[in-house]
Structure 1
């Protein structure tokens, strides 16, 4: 992610306003929700707050500094939930920090859902509540995940001012979604688990997620992976093809 995107609140006010409206909609849809937030990070850089609504505007900087669901979700790529953020023993420093801030006294439940918009760009969509979490909280956040991702893709492309980069980002997303479908079908798993499988494999074999995704689809389909019309083709290299073969062998081993 470019520095331009990290400073989107200053340079891309329309995007920031869109994201804030999205977060306010999430807050209004979830019973007991005190606020929602969006953090972004890329290439090993620590996550930073891009937009926030309600109590999340004050809580997110504290959480990123002292640990908590958002920081863990950003680091692991897994959804993180808690029914009582201030009393959760996993984050004692955060608990103490919340206790020192009267404006956060009503915070109880919290949920953080990670996502991505290109190879090394990740985001976390989060919400905080005045009660323990309802069962459907992550499901609601997942419904907004794609809209968040699309907004970030537009922001990244706009910050570069390069139409070709927009097409590259679209190609990456299409390839990853196809590969996730393959993993879901063979492992009978949830989309989150499919994405984590691809992410871990890309790290293990030191290849880009998008190249691994295309290589996996081509390996399974025994032919070129279909892509969106008018979008540049992604050509995986030999390391990505080797990684795809190893991954598929692991899936189908008895």
Structure 2
């Protein structure tokens, strides 16, 4: 899949998901699901509350936690978003000027948490919340409880589109390979799933190979046997470059 995924079928489910997140995170003023598909740009797929204005502003020039999470693939947490020097273009004055309809709410904005998660094999979705209090690692932990549901919702929405069944099966197979490879990295590095995904994604970019091929090559290298996969066109067959990259990545992971 390239470009922005079709999310109209998923929007009601995503909006319900965001309402549940808001109920779970004290002090939530807004929440959003943003999608960064392969070959596309990060865009808001569904929003709740003040994030209806806040997330698009971050994605269209102001900068902020959401685009940073989408670019780096790691969670971003801030206790005071407008005072954070990581994104000097995102200011209280600027938001008051751009979106006066939320004038009563902008001064209440404090913390933001943005959690990236795998959506397609080369892209991310980003779950984010905007709070009236500092965001913490516990905020990120709450978002983690919803990341898989958000990803599945998007997969189901893609499957509902005409001629998308094969693409959905491809995506599900790719996700299975990615999860296995992430498990290997977690075991070797003793890291969390976010760091494992970032490690795999950086390696695929550094070695210029598809991340799904790298994932399968790593699994097969560890197992010493072909990975279990479906027959036919959905079989992921790593090329020589992916196998070399897997070997180099394994040596790094093992400290050799």
TM-score by length of structure 1 reads: 0.91
Alpha-carbon distance, 1:134 to partner: 4.0
CA contact (8 A) 1:179 1:213 kept: yes
Superposed CA deviations along residues 190-238 of structure 1, whole A, max 9, x for unmatched, are 1100000100010011111111000000001100113479993211111
Alpha-carbon distance, 1:158 to partner: 2.9
**2:164 matched residue in structure 1:** 162
SS at match of 1:105: helix
CA contact (8 A) 1:40 1:122 kept: yes
Moved more, 148-157 or 123-132: 148-157
Q: Please, which runs of 5 or more residues in structure 1 have no aligned partner?
A: none
**1:106 matched residue in structure 2:** 108
Q: Does 1:34 align with 2:36?
A: no
CA contact (8 A) 2:110 2:130 kept: yes
CA distance in 2, matches of 1:120, 1:247: 18
**1:54 matched residue in structure 2:** 49
**1:172 matched residue in structure 2:** 174
Distance 1:229 1:36, change over 3 A: farther
Distance 1:229 1:178, change over 3 A: farther
CA distance in 1, matches of 2:248, 2:4: 38
CA distance in 2, matches of 1:184, 1:77: 16
CA contact (8 A) 1:174 1:228 kept: no
Alpha-carbon distance, 1:99 to partner: 4.4
CA distance in 1, matches of 2:2, 2:253: 36
CA distance in 2, matches of 1:146, 1:45: 21
Higher relative contact order (CA 8 A, sep 6+): 2
CA contact (8 A) 1:5 1:159 kept: no
Superposed CA deviations along residues 28-85 of structure 1, whole A, max 9, x for unmatched, are 1111111210111223532111100111112111111200000111111111111111
SS at match of 1:236: coil
**1:115 matched residue in structure 2:** 117
**1:191 matched residue in structure 2:** 193
CA contact (8 A) 1:34 1:56 kept: yes
- Work out the number of aligned pairs and report it: 249
CA contact (8 A) 2:15 2:48 kept: yes
CA distance in 2, matches of 1:161, 1:30: 38
CA contact (8 A) 2:3 2:40 kept: no
Distance 1:158 1:222, change over 3 A: same
Q: Please, which runs of 5 or more residues in structure 2 have no aligned partner?
A: none
**1:80 matched residue in structure 2:** 76
